[in-house]
């Protein structure tokens, strides 16, 4: 991709408890952030509605203002949630489960990379049992020694958990959102231990685990990656990992994105360029597609005069959209490093969203790839967030497609090898069903992986209906930053 005067960023699935009050935008007057330095046209509801009519990918599905009556809604988020219901799928059901309005915390938290919590997440392994699914390095949970695969026995003295239960949801939300909470766990060795953890600010490190396996000379790299944060924050670690793989002669890599909701596109492009064959340099990585208004640079009077505040006060938003739809529509591979792979296997689940899906999608036409796990979320569209007073609007603006024209996976990407997740196994454990399936598919004999623990049918991770989805928003953000 040619150098641009702004960077692309895609954001998906950043845990909502990461969004600190300190990250919220100041409640400045709309006329200071509305675009042209003057008072915005009408109310914030009106402004959001008319801008959506210009830049929303499916704007032909939206009603006119007299029919919709944007000012009849009490808040911009309620108004926009109702507006997003107008786009229907082939079955007549709402297609847009992505667009939203928030208070500005989303983009700020992603850009800063600072989170404030205890640093772990849990999911329902069965209807009534919760297990740790991941722990962020450097977090309070990590420093206390918590590990993936531990069973949660009680929270603040309460030991009854039920999936899709309001009382359980409130209990967990309150505990994870509080300054301090007491947790009791059962470890794999059947011992129990209680911890009182306090939420603190720390730098998010989403590289949860990496390892270089050597099975009788067959060397396979394995990386667990949980958020596409700023490239500057993860590039040194990734560079070190990939350099080690290159020196070791690794020909196959497993990229574990099973809980990765996405993030910055610059990081997805970096990983694609590390993994892609050198022969694909300068070939198409992906293209993005906008509505007809954006393609023809045809907008209403308000958006035509709206400045890209707070990013570039002297640049119109229309210039940014026009450059995306024309000059920078297509991204191209630029091979980075000497890693020469025969195959990349992705591990995914319903919690694999957006930039994670895009990374797999852009590589599958140009090299040998496999997807192991369960069907992913289905998010081939993204946003350019626009600010209105204290609100940010995330209206779906564009769709992405790979070099083969593939990009309509709104129902998710279907795995090549279907395997049920298991929260009771730690990272790198060869009895982990997803990892084990990927390794055997790469030619590693089952005998080299040890015995596989039998997973009873009632001990299966309920991926779609667990806290992982309840605490994550799902969006693909293309924002502007210097």
92-96-97-103 Cα dihedral, nearest 10 degrees: -140
Each residue's pLDDT tens digit, 380-435:
998 888 888 788 888 999 999 999 999 999 999 999 999 999 999 999 999 999 99
Note the pLDDT tens digit of each residue in 40-68: 434 889 999 999 999 999 999 999 999 99
The more confident residue out of 75 and 368 is: 368
Mean of the pLDDT values across residues 260-273? Answer: 91
Residue 36 has pLDDT above 70, yes or no: no
pLDDT of residue 111: 61
Per-residue pLDDT at 327 exceeds 70: yes
- What is the per-residue pLDDT for 11? 38
Q: Which residue has the higher pLDDT, 274 or 169?
A: 274
* Closest among 113, 114, 311, 138 to 230, alpha carbons compared: 113
Taking residues 254-262, report their average pLDDT. Answer: 94
Residue 124 has pLDDT above 80, yes or no: yes
pTM: 0.88
Q: Please give the DSSP secondary-structure letter assigned to residue 452.
A: P
Tokens of 278: 């050198």
Domain boundary assignment for the chain = 117-203
Residue 147 has pLDDT above 50, yes or no: yes
pLDDT of 470 > 60? The answer is no
**Two tokens, residue 152:** 């949660």
Q: Quick one: pLDDT at residue 319? A: 92
Which residue, 118, 131, 130, is CA-closest to 164?
Answer: 130
pLDDT above 90: residue 472: no
pLDDT for 259 beyond 90:
yes
Give the model's confidence band at 103: pLDDT under 50 very low, under 70 low, under 90 confident, else very high: confident
Task: Output the pLDDT for position 390.
Answer: 81
Quickly state the pLDDT bin for 302 (edges 50, 70, 90).
confident
* CATH for 117-203, options being 2.30.42.10, 2.60.40.10, 3.90.1530.30, 3.40.109.10: 2.30.42.10
Q: What is the pLDDT of residue 265?
A: 87
């Amino acid at each position: 991709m040619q150098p641009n005067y702004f960077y692309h960023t895609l954001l998906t699935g950043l845990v909502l408890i990461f969004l600190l009050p300190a990250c919220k935008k100041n409640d400045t007057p709309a006329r200071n952030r509305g675009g042209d330095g003057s008072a915005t046209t009408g109310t914030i509801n009106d402004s959001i509605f008319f801008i959506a009519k210009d830049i929303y990918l499916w704007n032909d599905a939206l009603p006119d203002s007299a029919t919709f009556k944007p000012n009849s809604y009490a808040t911009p988020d309620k108004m926009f949630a109702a507006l997003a219901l107008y786009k229907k799928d082939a079955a007549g059901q709402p297609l847009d489960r992505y667009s939203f309005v928030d208070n500005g915390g989303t983009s700020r938290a992603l850009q800063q990379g600072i989170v404030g919590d205890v640093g772990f997440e849990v999911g329902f392994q069965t209807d009534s049992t919760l297990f740790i699914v991941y722990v962020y390095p450097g977090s309070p949970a990590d420093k206390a020694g918590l590990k993936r695969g531990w069973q949660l026995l009680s929270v603040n003295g309460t030991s009854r958990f039920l999936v899709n239960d309001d009382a359980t949801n409130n209990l967990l939300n309150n505990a994870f959102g509080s300054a301090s909470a007491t947790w009791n766990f059962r470890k794999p060795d059947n011992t129990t231990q209680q911890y009182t953890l306090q939420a603190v600010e720390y730098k998010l490190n989403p590289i949860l685990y990496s390892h270089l396996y050597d099975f009788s000379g067959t060397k396979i790299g394995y990386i667990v990656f949980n958020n596409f944060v700023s490239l500057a924050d993860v590039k040194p670690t990734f560079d070190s990992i990939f350099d080690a793989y290159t020196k070791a002669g690794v020909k196959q890599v497993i990229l574990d994105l099973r809980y990765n909701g996405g993030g910055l596109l610059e990081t997805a492009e970096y990983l694609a360029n590390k993994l892609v064959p050198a022969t694909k340099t300068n070939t198409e990585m992906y293209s993005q597609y906008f509505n007809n208004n954006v393609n023809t640079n045809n907008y209403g009077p308000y958006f035509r005069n709206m400045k890209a505040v707070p990013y570039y006060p002297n640049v119109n938003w229309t210039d940014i959209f026009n450059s995306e739809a024309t000059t920078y529509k297509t991204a191209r591979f630029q091979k980075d490093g000497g890693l020469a792979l025969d195959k990349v296997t992705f591990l995914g689940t319903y919690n694999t969203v957006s930039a994670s899906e895009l990374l797999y999608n852009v590589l599958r036409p140009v090299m040998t790839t496999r997807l192991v796990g369960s069907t992913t979320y289905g998010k081939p569209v993204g946003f350019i967030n626009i600010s209105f007073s204290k609100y940010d609007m995330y209206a779906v603006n564009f769709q992405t497609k790979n070099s083969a024209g593939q990009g309509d996976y709104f129902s998710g990407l279907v795995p090549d090898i279907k395997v049920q997740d298991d929260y009771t196994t730690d990272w790198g454990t060869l009895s982990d069903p997803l990892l084990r399936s990927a390794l055997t598919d790469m030619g590693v004999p089952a005998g080299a992986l040890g015995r596989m623990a039998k997973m009873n049918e009632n001990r299966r991770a309920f991926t779609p209906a667990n806290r992982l989805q309840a605490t994550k928003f799902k969006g693909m953000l293309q924002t502007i930053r210097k």
